[in-house]
Amino acid sequence: MVSLKTEQPTLGALRDAIPDHCFERSATRSLLYVARDVLYAGVLIYAASYIDSIPTGSLRIVAWTLYTFLQGCVGTGLWILAHECGHGAFSPSTRLNNFVGWALHSALMVPYYSWKITHARHHRYTGHLTRDTAFVPYTESEFMENRKLSVLDQVHELIEETPLATSVAHLLGHQLFGWQMYMFQYVSAGKESIPGVDDVAKARNLSHYAPNGTLWVPGQGLLIFLTDMGLLMTASVWGYVGWQFGWQKVVLLYVIPYFWVHHWLVAITYLHHTHPSVPHFSPEKWSFTSGALCTIDRSFGFIGRHFMHEIIDYHVVHHLFPRIPFYHAQEATEAIQPLLQEHYHETKDESFLKSLVDTFHRCCHANSNRSDGFDFPGSDSGAS
């Protein structure tokens, strides 16, 4: 194993390097970003109301395609602002944070409090091989234990090396339905990521929508009920739109952008926490700071900076100090980079989408070939 040249800085040293004003949260500034993004969404819906009057069918297809893509980018930005609320980075007011986060996430059919609870566990145990909740890889023994030698699996083994199977079928399924699978079945979470549950694989009722589900500790059921009420309100609004104007309009105006939003969120989260050379740590070797520093900063150009509020570009500092507002993340990152040196991971010179395809392909194969306790170069991990 290759050793790092410099010692990992402490969390306190990193905090001291960041200017105090980077931790200041402004409700006014945050609400202005919400207003901007809501305005974008409204303008796009208004413009879309004229698409069907375009006389040429091919141009209408182009116009609807452009609308759904742009609305997906705007929706992702609103999702991220609600994400700020969930971390308390939106404003100093907990009530305002929760109200805005609940309203925005409900409008996007995202269960706000449910997500907030499990996402907090992800931040608490980032990079932990058994307690993290997002994209936790199997160890070899877990992989073999969960593998079923069915006819379908044998066919899968025959085709999994082909570019079509890996880059198209698997990746599309991952991007289109990964979020829904996490919401309904808690997929990709570590086996000990639920308080009081020894093995997630043996637990029942793992839905983020169930007030009496296994994911919650006593007393949290009411928050899940409030979450579900928000989702029901949004579904009712779009149900009324479909009844009045036709379900095709609902699909074009909302459903396709919905899948765009969650495509971007799955891609962003996956690339922030997955790289062939970045580990997950065994319980014996994990620490909060080590796990947070195994996050990867990436880049998606103008779209990532403007529409997605730079969450792609500056995510390492967010995992170290999640209450830093996104509009201070660049300055905070630049302040800690001299201390981190090779402990800081970034791939901003790569195409975001190319990174998604390459990382997915490489890590899928690595996941089925590594052994327990494998140490990656430059890390002190128990697995990756």
Map tokens 């479909």 to a residue: 242
Q: What is the mean pLDDT of the chain?
A: 87
Distance of CA 161 to the CA centre of its chain: 27
Contact at 8 Å (CB) between 211 and 222?
Answer: yes
d(CA 330, CA 314): 6
Full-model pTM: 0.88
**225: pLDDT strictly greater than 90:** yes
Total number of domains in the chain: 1
Instruction: Please report which helix (H) or strand (E) contains residue 115, including its range.
Output: helix 112-124
pLDDT digits (tens, 9 = 90+) for 267-276: 999 999 988 8
pLDDT digits (tens, 9 = 90+) for 275-334: 888 888 999 999 999 999 999 999 999 999 999 999 999 999 999 999 999 999 999 999
pLDDT digits (tens, 9 = 90+) for 66-113: 999 999 999 999 999 999 999 999 999 999 999 999 999 999 999 999
**374: pLDDT strictly greater than 60:** no
The residue-averaged pLDDT of 260-267 equals 95
Map tokens 């805005």 to a residue: 100
Contact at 8 Å (CB) between 129 and 139?
Answer: yes
Q: Is residue 378 part of a domain?
A: no
Q: Is residue 96 part of a domain?
A: yes
Dihedral over Cα of 250, 255, 260, 265: its sign? positive
Which of 371 and 296 is assigned the larger pLDDT? 296
Distance of CA 163 to the CA centre of its chain: 25
Contact at 8 Å (CB) between 166 and 360?
Answer: yes
Q: Is residue 23 part of a domain?
A: yes
Q: Is residue 223 part of a domain?
A: yes
First to last CA, the chain: 14
Question: Coil, strand or helix: which one is 184?
Answer: helix
d(CA 292, CA 123): 8
- Residues of the chain with pLDDT > 70: what percent? 85
Q: Is residue 316 part of a domain?
A: yes
Q: Is residue 340 part of a domain?
A: yes
Q: Is residue 261 part of a domain?
A: yes
Contact at 8 Å (CB) between 223 and 204?
Answer: no
Q: Is residue 376 part of a domain?
A: no
Write out the residue range of the structural domain in which residue 292 sits. 11-369
